[in-house]
Structure 1
């Protein structure tokens, strides 16, 4: 992409309001003129403005859909649209991968029974992108550079830094099936019901005497019961189900 002070084809570009946070202020609020180099693809032009392609629902040239590989020419009128919600991710069960900065969101998604892988340490963008591709998981991140990596299976920018808003954003965008209390918040494994006798070697005697309903993770063998924070989690689950349900059996 070039700027207005260089020679090259000039196009008129408009970015959807939902994508305004990614582009400079002078590109917000309506169509603006933009000089391009005549060789870069439309996808490259959009990314050069700061917009991750994961957030683009499509581009139109003169009102007609155009592929990201299209090379714009002088006089083109381009509109960049936001993704349509709920967004469909074809070709695989809906699963997610979150980077190291989204631990609270990962735990809340697991409470809701959403298949959510999470890296608790920074393994680097190449490794995250490779895992997304290998396991066919939607990469969730606030790192625009990560979301630009071509290896990703699919990706999405997390717009807020507040966990409550992050969760609503993900649920509203992807409409995942909700199966509360079926996944381990520690490892993402599947939970099954268990008796006090079955988990006696993994809990304190006082806990066993106080509670009679337990769940056990089939992967890491972690044990769960209705502890001090359960009411808070119940409210989170109830709010999510009320707005984005129903619950899948």
Structure 2
């Protein structure tokens, strides 16, 4: 049975069993095992892995292990280019709402089962967001992010640090309930769907084709704008300028 020496990036050691959290691990595996199998058996999901080196050269997670192999495992780093959509597991409803608020296409349903999440992620090229390590090890999930925090705002900041969310944000362009795009709605067409007092004070409206709700820039919108400015670490006028492009 091959013996493998692994060195883990400090950002990954919290996944390892307590006795291995120094980052250096000696492991034994069958000759049929791949690097993915060995690393995930130690607790690290493949979604959290970046560059892997085997005996000093860049290696694929699908490579078979060999005896006395030395492996270095780096953590996944920022994503370059445009972000695909997200799919959040059943425990991340608060984060899903914040992501939609910032304009990120995010699937969420608190009845999603793990197999359904994996299939949706595979079929629509989405990044899976979860605090479930075993879900992120699913072979059909190509990309995912494990979230260490439990508070939605801290989760958002954690995701921003890893993926650079603020570079891609399009605030107030998606429905918080459905996740579908919002469309401008003329005041005349909104008149039958909003209270008369609202129509007298506001001229800008938008609507969602899914839930048919109508939105306007009232006090609740202003509070959300301030919250989002804090999350994206920008001034509120910058949020408004992105909204009105």
**Fold equivalence (TM over 0.5):** yes
Matches within 5 A, 1:162-181: 162-176=151-165, 177-181=168-172
Q: Say which structure is richer in helix.
A: 2
- Output the TM-score relative to the length of structure 1: 0.85
| Structure 1 Cα separation of the partners of residues 218 and 42 of structure 2 | 48
Q: Which residue of 1 aligns with 2:93?
A: 103
- Output the TM-score relative to the length of structure 2: 0.86
| Structure 1 Cα separation of the partners of residues 101 and 119 of structure 2 | 26
Q: Which residue of 2 aligns with 1:81?
A: 74
CA contact (8 A) 1:189 1:220 kept: no
Describe the SS at the equivalent of 2:199: helix
Alpha-carbon deviations, 1:58-114, whole Å to 9, x = none?
Answer: 221222111112222222111111012x2248xx86111111211111111111111
CA contact (8 A) 2:13 2:23 kept: no
Q: Which residue of 2 aligns with 1:5?
A: none
| Unaligned segments of structure 1, at least 5 residues | 1-7
Aligned residues: 238
Alpha-carbon deviations, 1:132-177, whole Å to 9, x = none?
Answer: 1222211111112221222224222122111111111222322341
| Structure 2 Cα separation of the partners of residues 73 and 136 of structure 1 | 33
Matches within 5 A, 1:114-129: 114-119=104-109, 121-129=110-118
- The answer to whether the aligner puts 1:67 opposite 2:52 as a matched pair is no
Describe the SS at the equivalent of 2:210: coil
| Unaligned segments of structure 2, at least 5 residues | none
CA contact (8 A) 1:14 1:27 kept: no
What stretches of structure 1 move > 4 A for 4+ residues in a row?
245-249
- Cα RMSD of the aligned pairs, angstroms, is 2.4
